[in-house]
Structure 1
């Protein structure tokens, strides 16, 4: 079987290699920076015609978050501002990071940027991204 034959069967080995490389780069970047996890943590669910994403953003208001979609890529970025403190306070432990954050996620298919629904409550951002009608799989009847 030739390498060019893989496209006919719906498998792209280069796509899988790029995904693995991106995952390794993210893991190595986390080790070198001393970070335990990426921020914000996300969950992603795939439905037939949409993708649902949740992101945990404690202490952040919706106005401090930018959400962009392009083709099959979702980017979530913003800033977490530190709490103001009085001069007499001395930190005993500080685990929550502050400052700018950015998280880019590759989605399993292209999404329609005009059909994105968002909800934000109690520090949880919920995003539903719908697949364009033209990209949805269509059942083809086989004539004999």
Structure 2
């Protein structure tokens, strides 16, 4: 079980791990061992996730989320497989925890009269400054 919060945890059966060869440090050993981890979690078809949480996760513009709704996390930061595996799981937990909180709705506001006047005064001032930079035609 992968614990997300006190009320939510994911069973191991919903996580798919694949091990691959990682690039980076490790010398010749890196060519023989599969230390990188690719963790896949099917957000769209997970029976564990509550519907509002699933919608928030799928609505994110995240390059790790495929068109089919599968979240793919690649971990190759460390040189050994166990640490990369833990890293991938921690990153999955952080992504799901981030979607647990419901974002506040934005309340639309209008600019005040004073702020509109300040904006227009600034525009006029910049316009006058630019006019002074231009060359005046010489009249004979």
Q: TM-score range by the shorter chain?
A: under 0.3
Bigger relative contact order, structure 1 or 2 (CA pairs below 8 A, ≥6 apart) = 1
TM-score with structure 1 length normalisation? 0.26
Q: Which has a greater percent of helix?
A: 2
- Structure with higher Rg: it is 2
